[in-house]
Structure formats: structure tokens, C-alpha cells
Amino acid sequence: MTSESKAAPRDADANQAPGESPAPSVVDRLADGLFQLVLSPFVEIGALFTVLWQTLVQAVRPPYRVRLLLASAEFIGVGSIFLVSLTAFFIGAVLSLQLVDGFRDFGAQSQTGAVVGLGMARELAPVFTALMVSSRAGSAITTELGSMRVSSQIDALVTMAVNPIQYLVVPRVLAGLVTVPILTLVFDVVGMFGAYLVGVHLMGLDPGVFMERMRWLVDWDDVRQGLIKAAIFGFTIALVACRQGFHASGGAAGVGQATNRSVVQNAIAILALDYVVTAVVIGQGL
């Protein structure tokens, strides 16, 4: 801004005339907003990678905080079993219902178990598990770390010579990495149970055919693809959640906004990463 353009708005401010705000300020503000809009994703990604780097450095540096890791694993993993199972059951059930109904038109309903199993193992289990963990545990992590930030508890850790990344972030990120794949396995099992229940007991499919077709189509590679995704999602969820909480500012409202950003960013990250990882694993589509 030049000194002339600075002087102009001051005159206008003094008059307080509505609709007479000088042109440079509006253009400036528009340019500013546009600039921010374009720039902010890069700033976000930069901040995330900074935390990622610090987390990797602190993860290999002693002391190794096993107790905190177990506590985080309990919170993220054990605490999410019920929600993940519930989701899995209904997803499996409704998918089974839809597929039996849809496949019946061309007499392929015997493939229901196979198709549900494949979709579940490769896509639905990791993605839905990750989304559930993000909305339950991820948001809670952001809120907890955010509250610690705005009430100076993170500063207190630093003044007591305890590295807050090592103390707070590393256990949560490792716990996410380990527990989300396990939860995904739970999702696979419970989801197939739901599909079996609806397909066989309600829709009258033959149990032997249901299982046999599923075993024929779904193999270990499919499950492994799901678990690789789950590990990547779990790591990402915890990292994004921690980073948002860690850098929260502006009191309780700021913590709320950080939690909001954490859930939104995680949803986007999960879906975008899902495509990328799938493309890499099956070797096409990139």
C-alpha cells in the first residue's frame, strides 16, 4: 500500500458514508481474500508436514512412552469397537439387501456374498472405519490437545523440559497406525456377519453358496489392500487431529473451530488418499 492510498481510506472512515468506501480498499481486500484462498491449502499442508517431521524425529528418540501409547491405543482402538461394529453391521446388512434385490433381476443373487466381501475388504471397511474413528477419536484428540494448548498446558510441558510432540503426538499417531487396521478387521468380520444374516436368513440365499462364492472371490490380497489403507488412514487421522489441536488458538471457540477443521480435513484426506492408495496398489488409474 502506498502512503496516498493509506490516507484516502482514513478520510472516508472519518465521514463514515455508507457505499462510499474507497475502491483500493475493496480491491485490496478482495485480492487479499483471493490470495489467502489460494495460499491456505499450502500453508495447511506445510504445517502438517512440519508436525509430521517432528513426530518422526521424536518417535525414534528415547524415552519410549509405552504407557502413553497403550492409553492412546485403548482410547482410539478399544473405544471405537462398538461404533465401528455397529457401522459394519448395518453397512453389511443394507448392502446385502440391495445386492440380492438388484442381482435377482439377472439371476446373480448367489454372488452377493462375494461382492459384499470384496467391496468390504478393499474399500468399505477401511474407509468407513477411518471416517468413524476420525469423527469419534480424531475430534476428541483435537479437542483435548486444543484445550491443553489454550490453557497453556502445552507451554507448561515445554517449560518442564518435556517435548510436547513426543509426549502428546507420538503416542496418538502410533496408536492410530496400529489400531485402525485392527478395527478394519473387526469391520470386515462384523460386516460379513450382517450381510450373511440378511442375505441368508431374510432373503433366503443358500448359506453354502453364499460362503463358497465369497471365499472364491475374496482372497488375502484384498484384505491386505484394505489393511494397508487402514494403516495409512489411522496415521493420517491422528496426525491431522493432533496438528489441529496443537495449533489451536483463541480460547474455547478456537478449539471448536480446530475440531471442526480436524474432522473436515480428515474426511477429505481419507477419501483422497483412498483413491491414491488404490491406484498405487492395483497399479493403474494414476
At residue 220, φ and ψ (nearest 5 deg) are -55, -35
**CB atoms inside a 10 Å sphere around CB 225:** 18
Q: Does 161 bind other proteins (CB under 8 A)?
A: yes
We find the least distance from the C-beta atom of residue 144 to other proteins, in angstroms, to be 8
We find the least distance from the C-beta atom of residue 10 to other proteins, in angstroms, to be 19
Instruction: Output 156 or 272, the one with its CB closest to other proteins.
Output: 156
Among 41, 62, 107, 285, binds other proteins (CB under 8 A): 62
**Run of H or E residues at 135:** none
Q: What residues numbered 63-122 form the site for other proteins, per CB under 8 A?
A: 63
Among 160, 208, 285, 286, binds other proteins (CB under 8 A): 160
CA nearest 150: which of 256, 262, 40? 256
Query: How far apart (Å, rounded) are the C-alpha atoms in residues 107 and 100?
Result: 9
Residue span binding other proteins (CB under 8 A) among the ranges 88-96, 99-107, 151-159, 278-286? 151-159
Among 74, 155, 219, 221, binds other proteins (CB under 8 A): 155
We find the least distance from the C-beta atom of residue 57 to other proteins, in angstroms, to be 12
Q: In this structure, what C-alpha cell is assigned to residue 12?
A: 472516508
End-to-end CA distance of the chain: 44
Q: In this structure, what C-alpha cell is assigned to residue 246?
A: 496443537
Q: Are 54 and 165 contacting, i.e. CB atoms less than 8 angstroms apart?
A: yes
**How many residues contact other proteins, by CB under 8 A?**
14
Residues within the interface to other proteins (CB under 8 A): 62-63, 147-148, 151-153, 155-156, 158-162
